Amino acid sequence: MRGLTTFFFLFLSFNGSAQDTPRPCIYPPAQKSAPKLFPFLRNGKVGFINQGGVIEISPTFEEADWFSEGLAAARKRGRWGYIDQQGKWMIPPQFAYAEQFSENLAAVEVGSKWGYIDKHGRLAIPLRFDWAAPFSEGRALIKVGLLNGYIDSAGTTVIAPQFPDDEIGYAQASIFHEDLANVSHGQLWGFIHHSGRFAIPEQFDQVLGFSEGLAAAKIHGKWGFIDKSGKVVIDVKYEVANPFSEGLAPVKIEGQWGFIDQTGEMRIKPQFSWAESFNHGVSRVTVGEEIGYIDKTGKFIWKPTK
């Protein structure tokens, strides 16, 4: 199983592939400082541009994650390691898979097991999990056998594995955001506190994590947004929705993605094949099979490429 836990919103890594159904475990904590570099795709390889759209690291990687805590996971010759913002390998490629750093630890896969390394590449939490996600709010989502639970930064289990995977292998649980994590024991979704007790009972078809006080929720086949009491505050009418960031949320309506504000008003008209939530003024979008970046006016700062 792979958890979709990269960056503040959607992709497992930057390899040009998007998916139109949000997954519950999709984003680590928002970065505390603005990222200087953003991954882009050219001729099937990944490099990094700055916020002005200027190439800073040439596209030479098979896949790459967003920078977090000064490092980005990247893959070359089938193995993952970590680069700095000059593109230099700080932890050489050696892992079957690698998540981004969060709270000074990163989940990595060696063989068929997952554990956590520090920024020197040293193993901090042993390789004993069947999958592992980034830390958030002192908790990390992990899988043991067929069930998902939570550990603390010492590797101690704090919420026993109890949440299954869905039918295609994704964890029916999320990392924590705004003191809550979205989870499911089966058919319906709700939210738990750090203690593991439910704050909002399992009642939704699907939910995404809270961001800016709101969470995307699917009810009877359509998406809207709820507050922390579980009340619908933005009408359930969208085909798909992604979390709020910087006051805007990507939503899909009539086959195209645009952006709404917290009143539900459309701020960037639907025109994209896919759209991610904003990160420090920049959103990654697709037009057809090509990937680019827009600013908060909807203007491209990096025109779509593939």
| pLDDT of the residue at 305 | 76
The amino acid present at 186, given as its one-letter code, is G
- May I ask the CATH class of domain 38-305? mainly beta
| pLDDT of the residue at 23 | 52
| pLDDT of the residue at 167 | 87
| pLDDT of the residue at 9 | 34
pTM score, whole prediction: 0.88
Q: What is the pLDDT of residues 183-224, one digit of tens each?
A: 999 999 999 999 999 999 999 999 999 999 999 999 999 999
Per-domain residue ranges of the chain: 38-305
Burial 103-120 (b: 16+ CB within 10 A, else e): bebbbbbeeeebbbbebe
| pLDDT of the residue at 20 | 60
**Considering Cα of 243, then 247, then 251, then 256, what sign does the dihedral take?**
negative
| pLDDT of the residue at 250 | 98
The amino acid present at 142, given as its one-letter code, is I
Q: Which residues of the chain have pLDDT under 70?
A: 1-35
The CA angle 7-250-280, to the nearest 5 degrees, is 45
| pLDDT of the residue at 16 | 44
